[in-house]
Homo-oligomer: A and B are copies of this chain.
Amino acid sequence: MSHNTFGNLLKFTTWGESHGEAIGCIVDGFPSNIKIDLNYIQNKLNLRKPGQSKFTTQRKEDDEIKILSGVFEGKSTGAPISFIIFNKDQRSKDYGDIKNKFRPGHADYTYWSKYKNYDYRGGGRSSARETAMRVAAGALSEILIKNTEYKKIKIDSAVIQIGSEKVDSLKWDTKLINQNPFFAPNKKIIPIWEKAILDHRKKGSSLGAIIEVRVSNMPVNIGEPIYQKLDSELSKAIMSINAVKGIEFGAGFNIVEQDGLTSSDPMQINKKKINFLSNNSGGILGGISSGQDIVFRYVVKPTSSVLSLKQTISKDKKNTTISTKGRHDPCVGIRAVPVGIAMTAFVLADLIMINHSKKI
């Protein structure tokens, strides 16, 4: 039973609403005596923070994170680590209209139907604000991985498509990714995306995105068959992120166009090392990492909150329209990038611990 908890041996539980007093997260199962660098965590949060460029929402969230327990004299104690961020810039007047109307594409209608009572302000619990806490938990799990024998694991992620504009090279300039407002992996695409986003913002519309994650220096053996496969756990993790509509590994949906002669990755011994000659599998065989790079992609739908009028209904079941006037991301997929990295890191840390527990 997980509800608001993710993970197995390593677990995090998030709480808090977008316009409540605070949001927070408890990480449990974290080993003791590991140095915790709060700046590292804060920097990860800053990557997700809105208001950083004109291509994301102008809403200001300080996202200043605090640790309330589980760390003593700079190191983890093995006790639960409690993170908190107090909400500051709430401007709840922006959201007045949604008290009585359901925003299409949002969870307003289903929360109202399921819970009868819900905090509708800014999406409340269903707001993407919750993902700030995933970033904190993910940063912590990266610190954990860096303290294991698998310290070389490296997780890169970039936006590879916005609207219909795709990145046209498989080569990534990984240093560039965090230095442009789109998490783009190459320079050429940047002006194209700038134009597309500004055009859509002008129209009162928004755009979707496809994000790719690449994990390099992966060890073999991570993942637990049959119902804790690495790809299965990553899918659960990524699909729980707001607005994600699909995920694919390796060759993904395109593998249907291949045949059995080419789709499985041949193996070769080269200088006593095991190599694969292709990576259609995305680095996972039978749910267990093969030592190749883990590669997967997920799609984030266009921001549902747009300025233009949309047809909808009210809580008292009348036909009406709604225009969401708040400060919204023109392409919410961009800010999903650090969240996807965080969830990936968390899944890996958890499965690494599980794998380790068997080598007794």
Contacts and interface: CB of A to CB of B under 8 A. Distances in A.
Q: Which 6 A-B pairs have the closest CB atoms?
A: A107-B286, A105-B264, A246-B248, A206-B260, A357-B357, A110-B288
Interface string A293-322: 000000111111110101111000111000
Copies of this chain in the oligomer: 4
Nearest to A318: B269
B3 A29 contact: yes
A56 interface: no
Interface in A1-15: 1-6, 8-9, 11, 13-15
Interface string A247-273: 111111101111111011111110010
28 contacts: A1-B29, A4-B26, A5-B11, A9-B9, A13-B80, A21-B69, A29-B358, A77-B115, A79-B115, A79-B118, A105-B264, A109-B285, A110-B223, A110-B287, A200-B260, A210-B256, A233-B236, A236-B236, A236-B239, A245-B282, A253-B253, A255-B301, A261-B306, A264-B302, A266-B310, A280-B301, A353-B357, A356-B356
A240 B245 contact: no
Contact of A220 (B2, B113, B249, B358): B113
A358 B104 CA distance: 26
Nearest to A6: B227
B205 A111 contact: no
Given A255-B299, A259-B200, A236 B245 contact: no
